[in-house]
Structure 1
Amino acid sequence: MSTAIVSRRYATALLDVAEEGGFIDTVTADLEVIGDTVAGSRDLLNMLKSPLLKGDLKARVFKEVFKGMLSEQTLRFIDLLCRKKRAALLAEVIEEYGALRDERNGIVNVDVHSAVELDDEQSKKLINELAAYTGKKVRANLSLDEQLLGGVTVKIGDTILDGSVKHQLEMLRDALRESA
């Protein structure tokens, strides 16, 4: 079974339990702490991925590292991952959990690349138009792309909306070639 499927199953189970128990915010904050800590520690990352270390040892290390920082529910989930020999998937499970939570809350993550810095009014207008387009709340990640001649490109999941000048010029070129 692929790691993406396994990660999604664990993330779904965690989100379901957190929703039923009413501690989604706690688990979300805990997973953010874990994700940041693991990303910043090569030793912890290597420990999670090591096939030589037993799950019980990984769970004990986790309890020691995060002592007093995480909720009991999150620690039990990490313990389960370790005992089921899925600790190496922790980063993927955290990512899937965030994506599932956003999906259930009707939030879509959008990457916007623009040729120039967008001011607040332009950003709000673009976000409102994207919300109308998707029918969901939009969490936009705005960035500057100096490769663009002008305009913006928007990535929503697997869909790319290309409003860049370069793309418009390519479409004009193709149209002129077809008519010639």
Structure 2
Amino acid sequence: MALDKYTIGQRYGTALFDLATEQGTIDTVYTDVVALQQVFADAPTLADVLTNATLTLEQKQPILANLQQDASTSVKNLIQMVFDYGRMNDMPFILAAFVQHYDQVNGIVHAKVTSAVPLTAEQQQALATKLAARLGAKQVEIQNTVDAAVIGGVIVEANNLVIDGSIRRKVAQVRQLLLG
């Protein structure tokens, strides 16, 4: 039975996290993993190129060497092992699983905040502080997206929780009360 990408990502990501923790290199590995995530995000076809059967190993080797350049030993070994097993298409899932473990251990929560206008740095900091207290996190990292349909207020999505404090929702509630 073939494993899905999520399961493979969890297994490899957890193994990398455990290894980095054991070796005391967790922060270095985290930095490398985040950089590698950015590479895969910037070049979405990279994994396909590295698993392409029509390309020779000699053609793939410079790309692989470039990925491993300046990386910690654990990350270099991960890249080589994933490449050798033909699982480069699973790499984004592996990296995401590692980051998820890192964030969980360090009390970091990622929140998507939708607002009618861009939030200032001060507003983001104040919101992050309040969210950290509410969610029991040490740190909240906010990704602000703008949607004029919100009208005012914010919609926060974090840790499978949605907090809708938008004017759009309040208008919809008033409309529902008036109609029903």
TM-score scaled by structure 1?
Answer: 0.83
- Alpha-carbon spacing, 1:177–1:9, altered in 2? closer, same or farther (3 Å): same
Identity rate, percent = 28
CA distance in 1, matches of 2:148, 2:51: 38
Where structure 2 has 5 or more consecutive residues not aligned to the other structure, the ranges are: none
Cα distance per residue 1:8-34 (max 9 Å; x no partner): 111011011001101112212222332
**Secondary structure of residue in 1 paired with 2:119:** coil
**Secondary structure of residue in 2 paired with 1:117:** coil
CA distance in 1, matches of 2:68, 2:157: 39
Letter in 2 for 1:133: R
- Alpha-carbon spacing, 1:11–1:57, altered in 2? closer, same or farther (3 Å): farther
Cα distance per residue 1:38-84 (max 9 Å; x no partner): 44346633223435668x77984454224542122211111221222
**Secondary structure of residue in 1 paired with 2:154:** strand
1:32 aligns with 2:34: yes
Aligned to 1:172: 174
Cα distance per residue 1:118-152 (max 9 Å; x no partner): 33443333222211211112111123222221111
1:144 aligns with 2:118: no
Where structure 1 has 5 or more consecutive residues not aligned to the other structure, the ranges are: none
Aligned to 1:128: 129
- The correspondence of residues 42-57 of structure 1 with structure 2, limited to 5 A, is 44-50=46-52
Bigger shift: residues 155-164 or 60-69? 60-69
Aligned to 1:98: 99
CA distance in 2, matches of 1:65, 1:81: 15
Bigger shift: residues 32-41 or 86-95? 32-41
1:15 aligns with 2:17: yes
1:114 aligns with 2:130: no
- Alpha-carbon spacing, 1:116–1:67, altered in 2? closer, same or farther (3 Å): closer
CA distance in 1, matches of 2:143, 2:99: 15
Alpha-carbon contact 1:59-1:82 (below 8 Å) kept: no
Count of residue correspondences = 177
Alpha-carbon contact 1:151-1:165 (below 8 Å) kept: yes
TM-score scaled by structure 2?
Answer: 0.83
